[in-house]
Amino acid sequence: MPAVLAAVIALAPIWYLIDRAVSRGLIEVVDELWRRRTLDLVLRSLALCAAVTAITAVIGVTAAWLVVRSDLPGRAALRILLALPLAIPSYLAAFAWVSWRPQLAGFGGAVLVLSLVSYPFVYLPAAAALRHIDPAQEEVARSLGRGRIHTAVGLTFRQIKPAVTAGSLLVALYVLSDFGAVAAMRYESFTWVIYGAYRAGFNPSRAAILALTLVLIALVLVVAEGRVRGRADTARVGSGTARAATPVRLGRATPVAYLFVAVVLGAGVGFPIYRVVHWVTAYQSTSVGLDSVAAALFETLRLSILASVAVVLLAVPVGVLAVRYRGRTSAAIERSTFVAHALPGIVVAIALVFVGVRILRPFYLETPLLVLGYVVLCLPLAVAAVRTSVELSSVRVEEVARSLGCTPRAVAWRVTTPLALPGIAVGAALVFLTTMKELPITLVLHPTGVETLATRLWAATSVSDYAAAGPYALALVIFGAIPTALLTGAVTSRSEPAR
């Protein structure tokens, strides 16, 4: 039942979008798509996607290898620091750069900013994959006469390839759906043009048609990634656990490694924070009252907590069902995480505007519809997190509990839930972080008179009032860093489940 509800929530907006797009007939749709402008738009978005995906793959894999497999001093702390760009909203980073060098605006700036904020999508899964490779395989390769580099390329990187492709897909989808950075960099990609068409108001079906096109491109990427990824054929004989790998000695390459990490962290985290602090101190943001910052912070926290609770309440039953009752739909559920990543915030926002106007009129521009938007956006993230942790509690363990006198309900309470709790917490933190940073949905659907940190920051920076932007940006970075640190800790230090 909750699963059906979740499916309805995810699919209803799309249905309204289609309805809206074809409202003036199919001819109109074809005309719109065949315009030169639309083709340019597609090419511009794909170019941005390709550039950022390539760069993040290199940064992500290198960073992962350095903190997991090398003897880089301080790698334990770097492991968490390198995930911190997740906490920096893309529009904040973009404003930090263009306010410093306005000529960065455009393709170059967009590539720079998006690469710096999205490489953790590759870094985190690559690090996890590297940690799980049995070093004995590499040792065997070496003993069979393969050189160190030959082994790394032929064996190690082949084994982490599925993780890296999956991460790269996330990056590509992130770039396609990102609104803040391209808007700040004034790079005419899909999301910005859709927002423009929506704001212009006179042609809502153009916005809907472009939004659907964007979703289609994203879906094509998802399917293509499934083909490229292939299957990680892993086989292990015996039940012994893998030894931890001996760290590779960097030797004289250590300074180079440090330089790499310093550049990535400096540009990705240090520089935006420096600019934010600079805005606050240099302009002495007197124009902004502390009370309006506090009010925006309160609204942000309120909405994020509401969204986290709503999403978790829906995600737990869906995640449990997905694991325990695998049917023909299991593959679809597997992919649904990615499919929903393919649903950009701006698309969700515009779809919900139509839903709001058509059937949820009383909630239009009210909190419930905004939270619904967050739920549509974040549900798949939370479902994935819950599913992973429900899988930890194996059927075997639950059967033992049954044989010890527990009813199925008692098993759910005494075994499944405690085991899934860390995963649920991770899911909630993820939703919290995403909704805090979220811009397009908030921008389009926020209730009249309610301002969040994101909308305040957006309003101030779009008129280049960096003095006013400073305090909001600072609050956003600080409160975004907390869930990020928790999340990274949870992901990178997850211990082996006891058997």
Partner 1 sequence: MAGERVKPALEVCGLTKSFGTHWVLDGIDLVVLRGSVTAILGPSGGGKTTLLRIIAGFEVPDAGTVMIDGSTVASPSENVPPERRRVGVVPQEGALFPHLDVAGNVGFGLPRNSERNDRIDHVLDLVGLPGVRRMRPHQLSGGQQHRVALARALAPRPSIVVLDEPFASLDAGLRAQVRDEVLAALEGANTTALIVTHDQQEALSVADQVAVLLDGRIAQCADPVTLYEAPASLDLATFVGEAIVLDGEVEGETVRCGLGILDLRDSSGLPGAGRVRVVVRPEQIEIPSAGRAVAGTVLSRVFYGHDGLVRIDLGDGSIVTARVQAGRLPEPGATVALCVRGPVSAFVDSRSS
In the complex, the residues that contact partner 1 under the rule CB under 8 A are 239, 392, 394, 396-397, 399-407, 410, 414-415, 418-419, 495-499
Greatest Cα pair distance, the chain, in angstroms, is 72
- What helix, strand, coil percent values describe the chain, rounded to 5? 80, 0, 20
- Give the C-alpha separation, 164 to 155, whole Å: 14
CB 406, min distance to partner 1, A: 5
Closest to partner 1 by CB, 42 vs 406, is 406
* Partners of 248 in beta bridges: 70
- Give the C-alpha separation, 97 to 88, whole Å: 13
Closest to partner 1 by CB, 19 vs 399, is 399
**What token pair was written down for 385?**
């997190």
CB 427, min distance to partner 1, A: 18
CB 399, min distance to partner 1, A: 5
Closest to partner 1 by CB, 232 vs 400, is 400
Q: Any idea what DSSP says for residue 498?
A: P
51 Cβ contact partners less than 8 Å away, ≥ 6 residues apart: 107, 111, 115
CB 162, min distance to partner 1, A: 26
Closest to partner 1 by CB, 223 vs 404, is 404
**Residues constituting the chain:** 499
Closest to partner 1 by CB, 467 vs 490, is 490
CB 339, min distance to partner 1, A: 32
CB 313, min distance to partner 1, A: 22
Closest to partner 1 by CB, 289 vs 418, is 418
CB 388, min distance to partner 1, A: 14
- Give the C-alpha separation, 305 to 433, whole Å: 10
CB 394, min distance to partner 1, A: 7
- Give the C-alpha separation, 82 to 119, whole Å: 9
- Give the C-alpha separation, 438 to 115, whole Å: 18
429 Cβ contact partners less than 8 Å away, ≥ 6 residues apart: 308, 483, 486, 487, 490
Closest to partner 1 by CB, 54 vs 397, is 397
Closest to partner 1 by CB, 309 vs 425, is 425
Please, are residues 171 and 122 in contact by the beta-carbon 8 Å criterion? yes
Residue 284, judged by CB atoms within 10 A of its CB (0-12, 13-18, 19+), counts as exposed
CB 247, min distance to partner 1, A: 23
Closest to partner 1 by CB, 267 vs 406, is 406
**What token pair was written down for 482?**
């907390």
- Give the C-alpha separation, 344 to 191, whole Å: 8
Token pair 């007939």: residue? 25
